[in-house]
Amino acid sequence: MPSQPLLDVRSLVEPDRVHRRAYSDPEIFDLEIKHIFEKTWIYAGHETQVPKPGDYWQFQIGRQPMVMVRGNGDAVHVLFNRCPHRGVQVCGSRHGSGGDALTCPYHSWRFHYDGSLESVPLESGYRDTRFDRDNPDFQMKRAARVQRYRGFVFASLDPKGPDLLEWLGDARMAFDDICDRSPVGRVEVVPNCFRVVQRSNWKFFMENQLDAVHPSVTHMSTGYAAADVERKLKRETGSQPLHYHYLSAFATSFDQWDQLETAGYPYGHTLLGGYMGLRPTDADTLEHERVLAAAYGEAKKEEILGRNIHHVLIYPSISVQSPLQQLRAIRPISHDRTMSEIWHFRLVGAPEAIYRRSLWYYNLVNSPSTMINADDLENWQRGQFGLNSNGGDWVSFHRDYGRDRDANGELHSTNGCSELPMRAQFRAWLKYLTETE
């Protein structure tokens, strides 16, 4: 039965506008943590982050400190990073190896990779007590559910709810698109994770990823600067490296962005379709195409490379840029602070040049020296300042409202600049916050 604050939540979301409290109210943030982040499927990481038994990587689900651990063989476990003895965090580094067993640094309780108890020192001292190694109270607690899709690991703290595949729905194409670009259908993580804190509500990031109006405004300075140097190189050397285009493309005109498409799936996943010139006809690309055709046949190769994806957002935790093999995960810290983790993947078996081309995007656009996100983060912070204020109550999502096509619960627009993705995300947001059984 919804309690008072939940009733309140309904008044915050209208189909074409949202109340600023959704971004500025710490109580709303608490509800989001409880009913969205600590409930639905959250991205844990990629299985290749933990290649060997005992390898672990820490991450957050909502406010919960979790650790993804490689078990024996193919198993990947997700545990609360908490010792059942007296609560100490067992894994101490951001990532590392637990050796033969995860060992608590306080009194040396030891755990199997799945969290079950391996040994405690002085076990005889527990004779005739309620200590019981088979009781979950004496094990590292596991996430209620852990599932993988094509190597990407998700965990949910809620034992109920849809399976990962059902929940992903058509948005699973993000992972198909990234993996199918490898001739063996697999990606491998590049073992470096950049982390950047955004001084803004997590939803600024989610909305911005599919906001096709912002790039030419927000990133105007970088777009022009890169285009300038790009022209100079073309003039002087006759050609210009593709990575200048990664930057100059941000200054693409509204008209061109508007030719893209958007989609909103159930559970808030959203898509911006668009290609940004990422299928050039240089020798490297043609070699990649040849490798894919050899692996899959011509027709399937065309299907793979013809997919029309700019970003796919898997609500509420990741943004996948499959044509560039990049993924950003967000971990909300408070209503006005959000951690982002930035990952790059290698297409197993694809030509090295394809990896190197995307690496430029990782270094120039996604690294902490980013010439792109510098202005995004600035604008989101200024957005947070504005929404914290009493200068107005509403956030407008009116652009192209009323023109979304609804096909069995999926929303579609044929203009990239539609604010459909934001409306679709808030439709899911409201559902999460009000369906609290």
Partner 1 sequence: MAEPTSVAAATALQTHHEVSQFLFQQSNLLDGKQWQAWIDLFADDGLYWMPPGPEYTTWDGVPSIFIEDRDLMTVRMKRVTHPNAWSQQAEWGTSHVVSNVTIDGTDAQSGDLLVRSRFHMLEVRRDDVRHFAGSYQHRLRRIDGGFRIVLQRVDMVNAQAAFEYVLQVWV
Q: Say how far apart CA 218 and CA 337 lie, in whole Å.
A: 20
CA–CA dist 362, 400 (Å, integer): 33
Tell me phi and psi for residue 321, to 5 degrees. -110, 85
Is 133 a binder of ligand FES (CB under 6 A)? no
Restricted to residues 92-151, the positions that interact with partner 1 (CB under 8 A) are 94
Among the listed ranges 3-11, 160-168, 224-232, 277-285, the one in contact with partner 1 (CB under 8 A) is 224-232
Q: Could you say whether residue 335 binds partner 1 (CB under 8 A)?
A: no
d(CA 359, CA 341): 16
Q: Does the protein bind partner 1 through residue 88 (CB under 8 A)?
A: no
Least distance CB 232 / partner 1 (angstroms): 8
Comparing CB distances to partner 1, the nearer of 296 and 355 is 355
Q: What does the alpha-carbon distance between residue 206 and residue 202 come to, in Å, rounded to a whole number? A: 7
Side-chain-side CA neighbours of residue 105 (13 Å): 8
421-434 burial, b at 16+ Cβ within 10 Å, e below that, comes to bbbbbbbbbbebbe
74 φ, ψ to 5°? Answer: -90, -10
Q: What is the smallest separation between the CB atom of 193 and partner 1, expressed in angstroms?
A: 9
Please say which residue, 138 or 205, places its beta carbon nearer to ligand FES: 138
Which of partner 1, Fe ion, ligand FES, none does residue 104 bind (CB under 5 to 8 Å by kind)? ligand FES
Q: Which is nearer to ligand FES, 124 or 281 (CB)?
A: 124
Contacting positions for Fe ion (CB under 5 A)? 376
Decide if residue 109 touches ligand FES (CB under 6 A): yes
Burial class (CB in 10 A: 0-12, 13-18, 19+), 86: exposed
DSSP per-residue string spanning 317-362: TEEEEGGGTEEEEEEEEETTEEEEEEEEEEETTS-HHHHHHHHHHI
- Cβ–Cβ < 8 Å for 113, 69: yes
The residue within the footprint of ligand FES, chosen from 85, 141, 148, 150 (CB under 6 A), is: 85
Stretch that binds partner 1, among 203-211, 215-223, 261-269, 316-324 (CB under 8 A): 215-223
> Among partner 1, Fe ion, ligand FES, none, what does residue 101 contact (CB within 5–8 Å per kind)?
none
Q: Could you say whether residue 107 binds ligand FES (CB under 6 A)?
A: yes
Selected range binding partner 1 among 12-20, 97-105, 262-270, 349-357, rule: CB under 8 A: 349-357
In 28-86 the beta strands, taken as DSSP E runs, fall at 42-46, 55-61, 64-70, 76-80
Any contact of residue 213 with ligand FES (CB under 6 A)?
Answer: no
The sign of the torsion formed by the CA atoms of 330, 333, 338, 339 equals negative
**Footprint of ligand FES on 64-83 (CB under 6 A):** 83
Q: How many CB atoms lie within 10 A of CB 245?
A: 18
Considering the complex, what minimum distance in angstroms separates the CB of residue 86 from ligand FES?
A: 4
Which of ligand FES, Fe ion, partner 1, none has residue 86 at its interface (CB below 5 to 8 Å by kind)? ligand FES
In the complex with ligand FES, which residue's Cβ is closer, 17 or 141? Answer: 141
Phi/psi of residue 338, each to 5°? -140, 130
Distance between CA 44 and CA 50 in Å, rounded? 11
- Residue 327 tokens, joined: 């993924």
Residue 263-292 contact track with ligand FES, rule CB under 6 A, x = bound:
------------------------------
Residue 104 in the binding site for ligand FES (CB under 6 A): yes
Q: Please, are residues 70 and 344 in contact by the beta-carbon 8 Å criterion?
A: no
The rounded distance, in Å, linking the Cα atoms of 132 and 364 is 53
- Binding residues for ligand FES, rule: CB under 6 A, are 83, 85-86, 88, 104, 106-109
- Binding residues for partner 1, rule: CB under 8 A, are 94, 190, 192, 194-197, 199, 218, 220-222, 224-226, 228-229, 232-233, 244, 247, 339, 344, 352, 355-356, 359, 362-364, 367-371, 373-375, 377-379
